[in-house]
């Protein structure tokens, strides 16, 4: 399966989510996982280096490609069950190329960030045009990320309803990822949340993975 992580806005937690899903698939579900980096900032390259330096297992394959992304993905699939593709935090040729053959697109969004919400319109147009022209089978999920755990929070439900009640928007996954310190801490250590101790964070991620059909 090819899973593309993309957004038209940087800093949304895309690489952190990818890293934790990679670890969950490989460590918790014994899948062979490869990361294909197409973001020239190479945040996941640094995460992978920290992981290797710490001697963490299982090992996760890392590869970069900025030209023929489909060919690189096919090559990785010869030895892996999942290829997780990281794209830049803006509209890019790499993102558009990967969108033509990906099975799933995940795009994180913080529901309390107006800047991230404002970027959704252009992302929606880009993705819907790509689906119509090249990949009608692409499954797309906006992942509400860094959601407040406060009981008075209204932003998360408001954005969820906005996206799912209007077919002109990209749909949001039912399962949200909440703001928990373990996400930042484990990423800084070359880990995923399944290598941490926060059971709530693990459960949220597993439910998301079940919902989007990647486990």
Phi, psi for 132 (deg, rounded to 5): -65, -40
Token output for 102? 């990906």
pLDDT in tens, 160-203: 999 999 999 999 999 999 999 999 999 999 999 999 999 999 99
CA pair distance 95, 208, nearest whole angstrom: 22
Task: Give the pairing of strands 139-144 and 61-64.
Answer: unpaired
Residue 51 · residue 20 · CB < 8 Å: no
Confidence grade of residue 215 (pLDDT, cut at 50, 70, 90): confident
Residue 141 · residue 104 · CB < 8 Å: yes
CA pair distance 95, 89, nearest whole angstrom: 9
Domains of the chain (ranges plus CATH)?
A: 2-211 (3.40.50.300)
Query: Model's pTM, two decimal places?
Result: 0.96
Sign of CA dihedral 42, 47, 53, 59: negative
């Amino acid at each position: 399966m090819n899973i593309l992580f993309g957004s038209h806005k940087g800093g949304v937690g895309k690489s952190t989510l990818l890293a934790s899903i990679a670890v969950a698939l490989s460590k918790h579900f014994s899948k062979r996982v490869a990361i294909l980096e197409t973001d020239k900032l190479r945040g996941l390259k640094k995460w992978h280096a920290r992981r290797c330096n710490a001697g963490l297992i299982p090992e996760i394959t890392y590869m970069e490609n900025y030209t023929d992304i489909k060919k690189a993905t096919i090559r990785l699939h010869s030895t892996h069950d999942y290829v997780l593709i990281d794209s830049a935090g803006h509209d890019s040729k790499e993102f558009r190329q990967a969108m033509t053959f990906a099975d799933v697109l995940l795009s994180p969004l913080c529901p309390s960030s107006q800047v991230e919400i404002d970027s959704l319109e252009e992302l929606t147009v880009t993705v819907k045009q790509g689906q119509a022209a090249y990949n009608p089978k692409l499954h797309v999920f906006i992942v509400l990320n860094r959601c407040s755990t406060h009981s008075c929070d209204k932003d998360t439900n408001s954005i969820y309803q906005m996206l799912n009640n209007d077919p002109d928007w990209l749909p949001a996954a039912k399962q949200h990822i909440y703001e928990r310190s373990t996400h930042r801490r484990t990423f800084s250590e070359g880990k995923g949340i399944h290598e941490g101790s926060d059971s709530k964070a693990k459960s949220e991620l597993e439910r998301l993975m079940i919902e989007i059909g990647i486990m």
